[in-house]
Amino acid sequence: MNLNQLRDEAMKIAEPHFKKFEPIALHNTKKVLEAFKACQLSDYHFNGTTGYGYNDSGREKLDEVFAHVFKAEKALVRAHFVSGTHALATTLIALLGSGDQGKEFVYAVGAPYDTMQSVIGVPHPMKRSLVERGFIYKEVPLKEGSYDLEAIEKAVNENTRVVVIQRSRGYSTREPLSVMDIEKICAVVKKANPKTICFVDNCYGEFTEMTEPLEHGADIMAGSLIKNSGGGIAPTGGYVAGREDLVEAVAYELTAPGLGDHMGSYTPGYRLFFQGLFLAPHVVLQALKGAVYTASVGTLLGYEVFPKVDSNRFDLIQAVNLNNADEMEQFCRGMQAYSPVDAHVRPVPGDMPGYTDQIIMAGGTFVQGSSIELSADGPVRPPYTIFMQGGLVFEHSMLGILGAAEEILKCRTEQA
């Protein structure tokens, strides 16, 4: 099969599945517009502030809009979160460090992804990690590749302060969680201990369904603005949304006790954050189409793909199991060649902060590390899985995955 045949056959397989995402994008676009209207967003809210950032109307309005969209009592949306991991870590530390309940926390759906393992301090010790600080970590293993409700209920006791529910697959091939999956998990957690906080890592999941985790029993959630909810426009940052008292505790952890969300300037202004949120449902639609097309191409090339072409999708990530480390380099080299930034660069495996294995990454993005923009990466270890995510426009996703396929096909021909 040549590249043109692959392109056309992949589209023939993928295109019928695109339509199921369009009503979700329409619903979520309407939801965002209703939030802007209800919160009375005006252009003066785009202005930045300096210094302490007292009475920053743009910052306050951004919090208000996010709370409205995600059906939260309160939201904390800040450029000061350096990554999604930072937002998640700050939230987890705040939740564990308050109250007189237990200091135990549970990951409900298997092991967290690599950067959160560093935050926790497992399996390798890490300075200032949660385990080093004396918190007790428990992990509920997957059962046949999925969450185990019975084991989750048994893991929760009177000392369990927080249960973390990671929505996306991370660097694994388990299925991502739907909001109904999250609802089931929250229900068994609350049955075991009504006081335990259900905290959802919502990275990669925003706007993939018509509702969000806070509408299904979660107490609080957090995510990155350079993933779904920033729409490829937000230049940095993260968000936390949920119960008012819990979000307030996170604000005190981010700044200082007594300061909370009342301070924090951002001189460049807030237009890109609002505009990114406005675009986010449509951009997520584009990324989902790109993921389905990638699954189609991967299948035609003979690889195992997760999810399958016809699967329901609750996050943006498409995993492709390649055969070896060389094919990981070929895949990333081909995709990088179709990047708008650094297309001339050759990706090679390297060390990255927070990861134990070397990582290879294709990601010529306008915003550094933005995984709502088209990128592909993975740890160089068996089963040599590449995780493709994002894509601001479907056409770019299509060209990028075909670039990866072209490189692989060329190497196959040379080795034949």
Q: How far is CA 55 from CA 52, 214, 367, in A?
A: 9, 28, 28
Overall average pLDDT of the 220-225 stretch: 98
Class in CATH terms, 3-26+277-415: alpha beta
Q: Is the pLDDT of residue 98 over 80?
A: no
Percent of the chain topping pLDDT 90: 91
Percent of the chain with pLDDT over 70: 99
Task: Confirm if 32 and 278 have CB atoms less than 8 A apart.
Answer: yes
- Cβ neighbors of 21 (< 8 A, separation 6 or more) are 285, 288, 289, 313
Same fold, 3-26+277-415 and 53-266: no
Give every CB contact of residue 5 below 8 A, 6+ residues apart in sequence: none
Domain ranges of the chain: 3-26+277-415, 53-266
Residue 356 to residue 365: CA distance in whole angstroms: 24
CB atoms under 10 Å from CB of 100, counted, come to: 4
Residue with tokens 């930072």: 86
Confidence of residue 113 (pLDDT cuts 50, 70, 90): confident
pLDDT band at 115 (very low <50, low <70, confident <90, very high): confident
pLDDT tens for 305-347 read 999 999 999 999 999 999 999 999 999 999 999 999 999 999 9
The residue-averaged pLDDT of 238-251 equals 98
Q: Which residues contact 381 (CB under 8 A, 6 or more apart)?
A: 357
Cα atoms in the Cβ-side hemisphere of radius 13 Å centred on 85? 15
Asked if 89 and 102 count as a contact pair (C-beta separation under 8 A), the reply is no
Do 137 and 130 contact (CB within 8 A), yes or no?
Answer: yes
Q: Read off the pLDDT band of 125 (50, 70, 90).
A: confident
Mean of pLDDT values over 376-383: 93
Phi, psi of 304 (to 5 degrees): -80, 130
- DSSP codes joined into one string, 134-153: T-EEEE---BTTB--HHHHH
Angle made by CA atoms 259, 84, 340, in degrees to the nearest 5: 125
Count CA within 13 A, CB hemisphere, residue 412.
16
pTM attached to this predicted model: 0.95
Q: How far is CA 73 from its chain centroid?
A: 22
CATH topology of domain 53-266: Aspartate Aminotransferase; domain 2 (3.40.640)
Mean pLDDT of the chain: 95
pLDDT per residue over 258-305, tens digit each? Answer: 999 999 999 999 999 999 999 999 999 999 999 999 999 999 999 999
Contact, 13 vs 294, CB < 8 A? no
In the structure, what pLDDT confidence band is assigned to residue 173 with cuts at 50, 70 and 90?
Answer: confident
The whole-number pLDDT of residue 371 equals: 93
Tell whether the model's pLDDT for residue 71 goes beyond 60.
yes
Question: In sequence order, which residues have a C-beta less than 8 Å from that of residue 243 and are 6 or more positions away?
Answer: 72, 73, 74, 219, 220
* Separation of alpha carbons 335 and 227, rounded Å: 19
pLDDT, tens digit, 9 for 90 and up, residues 143-166: 999 999 999 999 999 999 999 999
- Among candidates 189, 193, 211, 194, which has minimal Cα distance to 202? 211
- Measured distance between the N- and C-terminal CA atoms of the chain, rounded to whole angstroms: 14
Per-residue pLDDT, 1: 79
Q: What are phi and psi of 165, to 5 degrees?
A: -115, 105
